[in-house]
Structure 1
Amino acid sequence: MTIDKVYESPQAAVADVPDGASVSIAGFGMTHSFPTSLTVALREQGARQLCIVANSLGTGDYRSNTLIENGQVNRLIVSFSARAGEATSAAEKQILAGEIEVELVPQGTLVERLRAGGAGIGAFFTRTAVGTTVSEGKETRVIDGVEHVLETALKVDYALIRATRADRFGNLEFEGVGRNFMPAFAKGARIAIAEVDEIIDGELNPESIGLPGIFVSRVVRKTVEVPHDFPAPREGRGADSARTYHGKQALTRRQMAETAAGLLPNGSYVNLGLGIPTLISNYIEGRDITLHSENGVLGYGTIASREDYNPEVYNAGGQYVHLQPGASFFESVTSFEMVRGGKVDFVALGAFEVDGAANLANWSTPSMVGGGIGGAMDLVAGEVNVMVLMTHCDSGGRPKLVKNCEYPLTGRNCVDLVVTDLCVLRRAGDVFRLESIAPGFTAAEIAELTELELDLGEFGE
Structure 2
Amino acid sequence: MKQQIITAQAAADMIGDGAVIAAGGFIMSAVADELYHAIEQRFLKTQHPQNLSLLSVTSVGDGADRGLNRLAHKGLVKKLVAGHLNLMPKLQKMIFSEDIEGYNLPQGVIAQLMRDVGANRPGLVTHIGLSTFVDPRYGGGQINGISKDVLNEIVSFDGKEYIRYKPFDRIDFALLRGTRADKNGNISMEKEAAMADALSIAQACHALGGKVIVQVEEIVDDIAPHDVRVPGILVDYIVKTSDMKFHTQTAACDYNPAYSGQSRAPKGAMPVLESGARRIIALRALKELQPGIVNLGIGMPEGIAAVAEEKGIEGFTLTVEAGGIGGSPLSGVEFGATLNPEAIIFQHQLFDFYHGGGLTQAFLGLAEADPQGNINVSKFGPRIAGCGGFICITQATPKLYFIGTFTAKGLKEEVVDGKLRILTEGSIKKFKKDIEQLTFSAKRAKELKQEVMFITERCVLELRDEGLTLTEIAPGVDLERDIIANMEFRPLIAEDLKEMDADIFS
Which TM-score applies when normalising by structure 2?
0.77
Judged with a 3 Å threshold, the aligned counterparts in structure 2 of structure 1 residues 452 and 106 are, in CA distance, closer, same or farther, namely farther
SS in 2 for 1:179: coil
Q: What is the CA–CA distance in structure 2 between the aligned matches of 1:98 and 1:442, rounded to whole Å?
A: 45
State the partner residue of 2:98: 98
State the partner residue of 2:54: 52
User: Which segments of 5 or more consecutive residues in structure 2 lack a partner in the other structure?
Assistant: 43-47, 138-151, 254-271, 410-425, 446-450, 500-506
Judged with a 3 Å threshold, the aligned counterparts in structure 2 of structure 1 residues 460 and 264 are, in CA distance, closer, same or farther, namely closer
Question: Would the aligned equivalents of 1:127 and 1:382 in 2 still touch at CA under 8 Å?
Answer: no
State the partner residue of 2:130: 130
User: Which residue, out of 285, 291, 300, partners 2:318?
Assistant: 291
Q: What is the CA–CA distance in structure 1 between the aligned matches of 2:8 and 2:348, rounded to whole Å?
A: 27
Q: What is the CA–CA distance in structure 2 between the aligned matches of 1:384 and 1:33, rounded to whole Å?
A: 32
Cα-Cα RMSD: 2.7
1:406-417 equivalent positions in 2, closer than 5 A: 406-413=435-442, 414=445, 416-417=452-453
Q: What is the CA–CA distance in structure 1 between the aligned matches of 2:497 and 2:153, rounded to whole Å?
A: 46
User: Which residue, out of 349, 363, 367, partners 1:334?
Assistant: 349
Question: Would the aligned equivalents of 1:48 and 1:73 in 2 still touch at CA under 8 Å?
Answer: yes
After superposition, the C-alpha distances for 1:394-414 in whole angstroms (9 at most, x for unaligned) are 335454234x54220112123
2:339 maps to amino acid:
H
Question: Would the aligned equivalents of 2:394 and 2:440 in 1 still touch at CA under 8 Å?
Answer: yes
Question: Would the aligned equivalents of 1:81 and 1:372 in 2 still touch at CA under 8 Å?
Answer: yes
User: Which residue, out of 212, 218, 223, partners 2:231?
Assistant: 212
User: Which residue, out of 200, 211, 218, partners 1:198?
Assistant: 218
2:335 maps to amino acid:
G
State the partner residue of 2:8: 10
State the partner residue of 2:287: 262
1:57 shift after superposition: 4.2
SS in 2 for 1:336: helix
State the partner residue of 1:275: 299
State whether structure 2 residue 496 is matched by structure 1 residue 458: yes
Question: Would the aligned equivalents of 1:36 and 1:224 in 2 still touch at CA under 8 Å?
Answer: no
1:39-438 equivalent positions in 2, closer than 5 A: 39-45=36-42, 46-54=48-56, 55-59=58-62, 62-69=66-73, 71-82=75-86, 89-136=89-136, 138-143=152-157, 146-154=160-168, 155-175=170-190, 176-189=192-205, 190-201=210-221, 203-226=222-245, 230=252, 240=274, 242=276, 252-265=277-290, 267-285=291-309, 286-301=313-328, 318=335, 321-323=338-340, 327-368=342-383, 370-395=384-409, 396-402=426-432, 404-413=433-442, 414=445, 416-438=452-474
1:418 shift after superposition: 0.7
Q: What is the CA–CA distance in structure 2 between the aligned matches of 1:241 and 1:261, rounded to whole Å?
A: 15
Question: Would the aligned equivalents of 1:273 and 1:317 in 2 still touch at CA under 8 Å?
Answer: no
With 7-16 and 376-385 compared, the bigger mean Cα shift is at 7-16
State the partner residue of 1:235: none
Q: What is the CA–CA distance in structure 1 between the aligned matches of 2:129 and 2:3, rounded to whole Å?
A: 39
Judged with a 3 Å threshold, the aligned counterparts in structure 2 of structure 1 residues 276 and 90 are, in CA distance, closer, same or farther, namely closer
After superposition, the C-alpha distances for 1:131-185 in whole angstroms (9 at most, x for unaligned) are 2222225422344665321101124111000011111222211125331121222
* Number of aligned residue pairs: 423
| Identical pairs, percent | 25
Judged with a 3 Å threshold, the aligned counterparts in structure 2 of structure 1 residues 409 and 362 are, in CA distance, closer, same or farther, namely same
